[in-house]
Amino acid sequence: MQSDNGGDDFSKVVLTAEDGAQAEIYLYGAHVTDWCPAGDDERLFLSERAEFSEGTAIRGGVPVCFPQFADEGPFLKHGFARLGLWELVSTK
C-alpha cells in the first residue's frame, strides 16, 4: 500500500497485490479511480472533467452509492457516502 495526494491534495491510497495488480482509491468518497490487472492496461475511465473539490463527487471510476442510487430517495443524488472523507483502517 502507498499513500499519496491527488488532485487538490485529496489523499489516496494505491493498493498493490502480490501479482502486481494495482488499484487507486481516493479517501474522499472511497472512490476507486484506477484499476490495473497484473501485466495489463488500466481498466477504469476517469473523466477529464473530474473535479477534485469538496462537495463535488469525482466523475468516473467506481463510486460508492449509499444509501440510494440516482435520485430515487430523499438524499443527494447517489447518496451522501460519496461526498464524505473515509479512513483506511486496515489492508488485511
pLDDT for position 70: 85
Number of separate domains in the chain: 1
> Dihedral (C-alpha) 28, 30, 35, 38: value to the nearest 10 degrees?
120
Judge whether residue 7 has pLDDT over 60: no
Q: Tell me: the pLDDT tens digits for 54-70? A: 888 888 889 888 888 88
Residue range of the domain that includes 20: 1-92
Q: Count Cβ atoms within 10 A of the Cβ of residue 31 and give its class: 0-12 exposed, 13-18 middle, 19 or more buried.
A: buried
pTM across the whole model: 0.78
Residue listed under C-alpha cell 472533467: 49
